[in-house]
Amino acid sequence: MNPDLQKLMAQAARLTQGGQLAEATTLLRSWMGGGLGTVPGMPQDGAQDADVIDVTARRVDAPEQEPTRQEGGFTAHSFAGTADRRDYKLFLPAGAGAAGPMPLLVMLHGCTQNPDDFAAGTRMNQLAQARGWAVLYPAQSRKANPHGCWNWFKHTHQTRERGEPALIAGMVEQVMVNHRIDPQRIYVAGLSAGGAMAAILGETHPDLFAAVGVHSGLAAGAARDLSSAMAAMQTGAPAPRGNGQGSGMPTIVFHGEADSTVNVANARAVVAASVGAAAAGHGEASSVQGTRGARREVFRAADGSVRAELWLVHGAPHAWSGGGPGSYTDPQGPDASAEMLRFFAAQRLR
């Protein structure tokens, strides 16, 4: 990371911890305009309200047609709603749909990334090919956010029928119309800002997604604006909203213990949103050995089924664990992509 940026982040953290959120926000706004760069997950408030979706979104259904078998590949597409549009890339395994409806995994990149970079860094397409899964990579537009971050921290992007959750769900439905997708096996995962948006989608669309993967992200509702986002990222989000019982959404969480961008405390907040605040500290723990060790905690429902997994990777930075060539990857960590696919494969839409 840029040394000047490291100093600025440390100063912002001190201000935030001291309760000086306005001063921390002013400092970060000056950084955003100064061209020092960005890191995944960092809220970017450069887009004006007029540039983000702040109206009810209605999905535009494609004409009904019989899904067809298609050969595999990684192709570019676009989805248009009534308020805005987004591009996306779609991976289909060779012989897609030949053996029946396929599972679909939605992968949400972090700030400054794009679908190609994210696919390369996670190696998800190669793993999906081996399993016969389709993978959808929505692309954030630079008009909606200058640094390509999903706007997880804005209240206009945290509900079902508006903003980016509605757009991403619309993409999924478009893919379902055009390809043989199993509606019981649709999953969403993301890194940092993408992980935070994946958590939101699990809350807004529990009838669409069977499970969620959050890597180095934050729980749904962790922030409503830039100031609260900075506080959550630096010190951890407050207790999850709701009745404290948890949503029940099956969730797998990866987070590096040395993450200096998104505080590792947010990992437990994501788990608590799934299993409930009271159960968040009572998982079955085991150690995972490797180049980087990890602590894996498993949380079960009353019937014994796994509801959540938490992976805390020792010494890992703000990066995709076990990733390959690409931005924000950590090849030394356990393979988050493989573990997420294993977890998802055991889940069906409730």
Domain coordinates in residue numbering, the chain = 38-345
State in words which class domain 38-345 has: alpha beta
Task: Return d(Cα 267, Cα 244) in angstroms, integer.
Answer: 16
Residues 6+ apart with CB under 8 A from 157: 52, 53, 150, 151, 163, 164, 165, 197, 200
- Burial class, 74, CB count within 10 angstroms (exposed 0-12 / middle 13-18 / buried 19+): middle
Alpha-carbon distances of 255 from 124, 218, 228, 317, rounded to whole Å? 18, 10, 20, 8
Strand runs labelled E in 109-242: 134-138, 181-191, 211-215
Strand runs labelled E in 28-84: 73-80
Which residue reads 């800002």 in tokens? Answer: 193
Task: Return d(Cα 254, Cα 264) in angstroms, integer.
Answer: 10
Task: Return d(Cα 76, Cα 61) in angstroms, integer.
Answer: 19
pTM for this predicted structure: 0.82
What is the chain's pLDDT, residue by residue, as a tens digit (350 residues)?
444 544 555 566 555 555 555 555 555 554 443 333 344 555 554 444 333 333 233 333 333 344 444 457 999 999 998 778 999 999 999 987 677 899 999 999 999 999 999 999 999 999 999 999 999 999 999 999 999 999 999 999 999 988 999 999 999 999 999 999 999 999 999 999 999 999 999 999 999 999 999 999 999 999 999 899 999 999 997 766 655 678 899 999 999 999 999 999 999 999 999 998 766 666 787 888 778 999 999 999 888 889 999 999 999 999 999 989 889 999 999 999 999 999 999 999 97
Q: Are 53 and 156 in contact (CB under 8 A)?
A: yes
